[in-house]
């Protein structure tokens, strides 16, 4: 009888372990022995929006003319600290432009340019074309970089926070990787990307255990100011809701597991040898 109870207990622990494994494994609908194509529904490139800051630097073989198309470097003001001066110079050397609420920037000589909705390469090409078509510069090189674009990752990840965007394509998997991946308490089946589109907040659910859900989501490619939220699993949520309840504390369950191990050991020792 005691041996039967021990076997049933071991079987219950094994089944519980299998269930836990199924909850944490990514892409469970993908077979390891085949190559599967997963279509992506959304355009991947970041497009500029109002309030974005971008660096635009124009260079050519005519250094004297280049200065006309780059923001001037502000001289250090009297009384400014070295840190403030360095930060000010760094920002101005980068020629930072802030896109206004109408989606425009005021560019030297060329005047007002509508840039909202453009990709980084499209903005570079537009400025280069205008400089050449108006015979202002010959074969200019226009470099555009993001300055304040970023996204946030919150919830059950190892390193939550805000992360800067430094490339044209950022996926939700990139974001979770930058945040140190999910903790063991994070629900792989319930990731939410929160995105503001106009005056509307939209919520996109993503199930990391399904490749179809991940790559088929409209939020697979992130945009600036997106927020990725990882929901805690049921055990973690209960712990937060009732942190004062002793039975929900990790120390309680550790002690209980130790007690059960001791009981099982005593049962095995006391079992008569065949």
pLDDT at 24: 74
pLDDT at 42: 66
What is the extent of the structural domain holding 61? Answer: 53-146
Whichever domain contains 59, its CATH number is 3.30.1950.10
Within a domain: 9: no
pLDDT at 65: 87
Domain boundary among 96, 130, 146: 146
Within a domain: 177: yes
**Count of structural domains, the chain:** 3
Within a domain: 87: yes
pLDDT at 76: 47
pLDDT at 148: 93
Within a domain: 14: no
Within a domain: 1: no
CA distance 10 to 240: 30
- Cα Rg of the chain (Å, integer): 28
How many Å from the N-terminal Cα to the C-terminal Cα in the chain?
14
In the predicted model, residues of the chain with pLDDT beneath 70 are 1-23, 33-34, 36, 38-42, 73-94, 236-260, 262-274
pLDDT at 99: 97
């Amino acid at each position: 009888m005691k041996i039967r109870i021990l076997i049933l207990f071991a079987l219950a622990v094994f089944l519980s372990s299998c269930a836990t494994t199924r909850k944490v494994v990514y892409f469970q609908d993908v077979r390891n022995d085949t190559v599967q194509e997963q279509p992506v529904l959304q355009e991947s490139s970041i497009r500029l929006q109002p309030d974005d800051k971008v660096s635009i630097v124009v260079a050519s073989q005519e250094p004297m003319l280049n200065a006309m198309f780059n923001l001037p470097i502000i001289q250090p003001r009297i009384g400014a600290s070295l840190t403030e001066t360095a930060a000010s110079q760094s920002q101005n050397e980068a020629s930072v432009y802030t896109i206004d609420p109408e989606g425009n920037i005021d560019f030297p000589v060329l005047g007002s340019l509508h840039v909202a909705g453009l990709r980084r390469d499209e903005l570079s090409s537009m400025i280069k074309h205008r400089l050449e078509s108006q015979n202002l510069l010959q074969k200019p090189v226009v470099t555009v970089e993001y300055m304040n674009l970023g996204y946030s990752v919150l919830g059950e990840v190892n390193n939550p926070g805000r992360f800067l965007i430094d490339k044209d394509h950022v996926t939700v998997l990139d974001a979770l990787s930058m945040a140190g991946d999910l903790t063991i308490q994070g629900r792989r089946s319930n990731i939410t990307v929160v995105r503001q589109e106009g005056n509307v907040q939209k919520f996109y659910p993503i199930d990391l255990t399904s490749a179809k859900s991940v790559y088929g989501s409209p939020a697979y490619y992130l945009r600036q100011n997106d927020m990725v939220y990882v929901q805690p699993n049921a055990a973690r949520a209960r712990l937060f809701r009732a942190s004062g309840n002793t039975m929900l504390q990790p120390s309680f369950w550790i002690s209980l597991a130790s007690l059960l191990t001791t009981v099982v050991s005593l049962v095995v020792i006391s079992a008569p040898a065949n």
